[in-house]
Structure 1
Amino acid sequence: MKFPTRLGIATLGAAMLAMTVPSASHAASPLPQDFLWGVASSGFQSEGSPGGLPASNWTVLQPGQTPIGRSVDFRHRYRSDIALARGLGAKVYRVGVEWARVQPSPHRFDEREWAYYDDMIGAIVAAGMRPMITIDHWVYPRWMSKAGSWANPAAVRWWLAYANQVVHRFAKYNPLWVTFNEPIMNVAQQLMRNELTPASAPVMADRMVEVHRRIYREIHRVQPKAMVTSNSAYMPLGAEGVIDPFLTDRFMAHADFVGLDNYYSFSLSNPLASANGLSDGMAGLPINAESIYYALRYNARRYPGKPIYIVESGMPTADGKPRADGYRRGDHLADIVYWVQRARADGIPVFGYNYWSLTDNYEWGSFTPRFGLYTVNVLRDPSLRRIPTDAVPVYRRIIARNGVGPHYRPTRAPEPCSVVDAAVSCLEPVH
């Protein structure tokens, strides 16, 4: 998960509002039997870092940042969480390896920590699920940060030494691979936290592209039929047209599928909706389920011939409270899946979906945003109970039926002029 980007809303002419493209069918066609249903998490966000260890860039507190502590303690509860995912019927479990945990110094890897990941990823496989392994999810060893992070030319060598260890250790499980989680947001994070100067941002981007290309080749050398990507955070309002040439296109030149993350939406019918973010943070920003359709269509057109996997998708609430817009997690999930099925029926090659996230976790400085299928009150419940939300039976039913069924209709109609894909989502709307 990432920080949402706050962008201004473009104004489109009244003529665009009147333009429609009729849809052949409103039915949600069945998905193929090999469609991959999954859940997602990351290492640092769910494992926690009690006492600030292992030392990383994210254990250095910024103003207003809540310490992570043990988070939801996935570190010691992974077997029971994996059992929850299995109980949903999930086929894929996305996890991350935390670099700071396995390499506490530039010259030493920690075999005890590697053994933890051996056991955890082995438990996913033993539960009948396929791992999706993220190599880099924004968290770096403190020693790398002190040495200048990606501005240091040695970062290429450091990262590849770590990544090669991950690949050679876990390729035997035939995982799906994510090299970098949301590269553009990785750069943005380091800029916002003053870990990187603006002048070094293009350098970081170039070096990430370089190591992605090199580890892509190494993954395919040891796992010839591997599926490798770098997931991209889809930015609404046409921002993708600026971001993609700078970074995403370069990653997709060495990728077997498009990794897509989609959360937020905007529309001309509710131009002030994002103002709610000032009071409710992530949970105040607008969400419209049909935005996933526009994001899928955009990526299918930009990267023709590449299959698409929705690596992250979900809905935030503020500290577990109902959303101000009244959208319930289970309804939003079913609506999302409806639009995924519509996209597939329209020829968009989407082959998998991960819900972010299985449980609530640490959302990069705070425990207030809640995304979990199972909610966990980290700050007020020492037992860290996993409490099922209304979305748990919904997702279990969706996976069992391989979709929402042909008679399902979204609980909310699509916005009349969404600007998720800028003018295109007004000129070619879904119905």
Structure 2
Amino acid sequence: MPGRSKRSRCAHLLSVLVLLVALASPAAADTRPGTVRFPADFLWGVSTSGFQSEGHFPDSNWTRYVERRAGEVEDSYHDSVDFRHRYPSDLKLAKGLGVNVFRTSIEWARVEPRRGHRDPKAIAYYDDLVRRIRAAGMRPMLTLDHWVYPGWVADQGAWDDPRTQDDWLRHARFIVNRYKDMDVLWVTFNEASSYIYRELTHRPLDLGQLLTMQKALVKTHRAAYDMIHRVDPGAMVSSNIAYGTLLNGLFDAALFNEATDKLDFIGVDYYYGANLENITAAHALTGELWKIDPAPEGLYYVLKQYHLRVPDLPIYIVENGMPLEDGKPRPDGYTRSDHLRDHIYWIQRAMAEGVPVMGYNYWSLTDNYEWGSYRPRFGLYTVDVRTDPSLTRRPTDAVPTYRSLIARRGVPSGYVPVREPGWCSIGDPLGSCFGTPATPPAS
């Protein structure tokens, strides 16, 4: 600048350099203690799905995929962890954690194994399951579609055929009518982006079929939202989204971007993040989920960003968990308890900064069938399907940890995460890379 002395220019340059160093510092995602406890009415839960845990499964797209690709999938289905017959004792395990939400799916393939024929035994099973969930003091979170549909729907062309939308809505209306007024949290489609991806790789789909399915899911969700509010007034409805790091924009385009006016809460599934010091999320592409180095701080940025995008909706973490390879400890010593506490800490941080988080579900209560393999084990209770015919539920270290977190309403003040935050999170590049964290709009 003309007229400025050399000393003044040097001082100015030094101040600029100091500022740049400060902006580039990893301290942008520091580990200040959370300043809020979870409210007394916070929803704590566990998640699972019908196909992955029930066993004894009828004809469906997924039983066919597993049979057709027997030489490619790592494990055949067997009877999974036999939740279909062990649900009373499994619900007792959930109740013992202190959770007040139990999430599962009502499987269309089980309820309507043939077009127009509903199986009375299947309906009785789900009736009793929902009744027992409520009797245990838990709120049902029921998913209407967790990537599985009946074999007869597959035969008619699945989502390629417009009839599937009408058939799906007819089935959904039957289920909602049956469990209305039971304080259900309804989820229409589980992770629409992952649903499309699984169909893309297993059917497989061409580009035209992919776009047809995406449009069908959006249209069907929107119609289901209105139907549920007519049949079960006051119920909350959503379609949970899978957070996908670098691909998240594409993931959101599957359904979320076209349905924000037809959601009562934002359901987020967060398993892994990425930052410039940690790109191990790439292992998700190979299915080796246990090799991913968790990035708990990413959840904080994800919550902040979704709140900025849709500030009028509360957020529910519908799924969060960490897989272990066949139940073996991680080589780095990071435990499921560490993972759980660290993620809860970052949720508290987000809430302290104004993000309205209404609930959290751990995935999952027990290990289950991870879409072709029993190797990734997510369960609070581990089950060795491969070698233990008794399918014994064995508690992991995280059982007392989750119980304590619920009872104490979060991590204590002053808690420092075991996993240090990495620099420059994909979840919020501006906030985490340059020291200007996103701020929720004023309410």
* Aligned partners of 1:28 and 1:404 also within 8 Å: no
State the SS of the aligned residue for 1:253.
Answer: helix
Question: Which residue is 2:266 aligned to?
Answer: 258
Query: Which residue, out of 191, 215, 218, partners 1:206?
Result: 215
State the SS of the aligned residue for 2:33.
Answer: coil
Question: Which residue is 1:224 aligned to?
Answer: 233
Deviations 1:275-314 (A, max 9, x none): 6669981101221111111111111111111000000001
State the SS of the aligned residue for 1:173.
Answer: coil
Task: Kindly provide the amino acid, as one letter, of the partner of residue 367 in structure 1.
Answer: Y
- Residue 24 of structure 1 deviates from its aligned partner by 10
* Aligned partners of 1:20 and 1:429 also within 8 Å: no
State the SS of the aligned residue for 1:382.
Answer: coil
- Residue 417 of structure 1 deviates from its aligned partner by 2.4
State the SS of the aligned residue for 2:51.
Answer: helix
Is the deviation greater in 329-338 or in 211-220?
211-220
- Show the 5 A alignment for 1:15-34: 17-18=24-25, 21=28, 25-34=32-41
- Residue 199 of structure 1 deviates from its aligned partner by 1.1
Do structure 1's residue 54 and structure 2's residue 61 form an aligned pair?
A: no
* Aligned partners of 2:298 and 2:427 also within 8 Å: yes
Question: Which residue is 1:341 aligned to?
Answer: 348
Q: What is the percent sequence identity of the aligned residues?
A: 49
Do structure 1's residue 152 and structure 2's residue 156 form an aligned pair?
A: no
Do structure 1's residue 312 and structure 2's residue 312 form an aligned pair?
A: no
- Show the 5 A alignment for 1:29-428: 29-49=36-56, 53-60=57-64, 61=66, 62=69, 63-65=71-73, 66-237=75-246, 239-271=247-279, 273-274=280-281, 281-428=288-435
Q: 1:334 to 1:28 in 2, by over 3 A?
A: farther
Structure 1 Cα separation of the partners of residues 207 and 21 of structure 2: 39
Structure 2 Cα separation of the partners of residues 93 and 321 of structure 1: 27
State the SS of the aligned residue for 1:352.
Answer: strand
State the SS of the aligned residue for 2:342.
Answer: helix
Deviations 1:347-366 (A, max 9, x none): 00111000000000000010
Larger radius of gyration: 2
Structure 1 Cα separation of the partners of residues 426 and 349 of structure 2: 19
Q: 1:78 to 1:22 in 2, by over 3 A?
A: closer
Is the deviation greater in 411-420 or in 188-197?
411-420
Question: Which residue is 2:4 aligned to?
Answer: none
What stretches of structure 1 of length at least 5 have no aligned partner?
Answer: 1-12
Question: Which residue is 2:12 aligned to?
Answer: none
Task: Kindly provide the amino acid, as one letter, of the partner of residue 260 in structure 1.
Answer: V
Structure 2 Cα separation of the partners of residues 421 and 90 of structure 1: 31
Deviations 1:16-61 (A, max 9, x none): 7448648795334211111110000001000013xxx400011112
Deviations 1:226-246 (A, max 9, x none): 110000001113x22333345
Deviations 1:317-366 (A, max 9, x none): 11111123321001110111111111111000111000000000000010
Q: 1:206 to 1:16 in 2, by over 3 A?
A: farther
Is the deviation greater in 33-42 or in 186-195?
186-195
Task: Kindly provide the amino acid, as one letter, of the partner of residue 414 in structure 2.
Answer: H
Structure 1 Cα separation of the partners of residues 421 and 102 of structure 2: 30
* Aligned partners of 1:149 and 1:196 also within 8 Å: no
- Residue 429 of structure 1 deviates from its aligned partner by 7.2
Structure 2 Cα separation of the partners of residues 246 and 139 of structure 1: 17
What stretches of structure 2 of length at least 5 have no aligned partner?
Answer: 1-19, 438-443
* Aligned partners of 2:380 and 2:396 also within 8 Å: yes
Is the deviation greater in 129-138 or in 157-166?
157-166
Q: 1:343 to 1:58 in 2, by over 3 A?
A: same
- Residue 372 of structure 1 deviates from its aligned partner by 0.4
* Aligned partners of 1:417 and 1:429 also within 8 Å: no
Task: Kindly provide the amino acid, as one letter, of the partner of residue 389 in structure 1.
Answer: T
Structure 1 Cα separation of the partners of residues 248 and 286 of structure 2: 27
Structure 2 Cα separation of the partners of residues 350 and 425 of structure 1: 21
- Residue 375 of structure 1 deviates from its aligned partner by 0.4
Is the deviation greater in 146-155 or in 62-71?
62-71
Q: 1:57 to 1:15 in 2, by over 3 A?
A: farther
Structure 2 Cα separation of the partners of residues 80 and 251 of structure 1: 37
Deviations 1:259-278 (A, max 9, x none): 0000012221234x356669
Structure 2 Cα separation of the partners of residues 286 and 262 of structure 1: 14
Is the deviation greater in 165-174 or in 129-138?
165-174
* Aligned partners of 2:83 and 2:90 also within 8 Å: yes
Q: 1:81 to 1:268 in 2, by over 3 A?
A: same
State the SS of the aligned residue for 1:179.
Answer: strand
Q: How many residues align?
A: 413
Structure 1 Cα separation of the partners of residues 147 and 283 of structure 2: 27
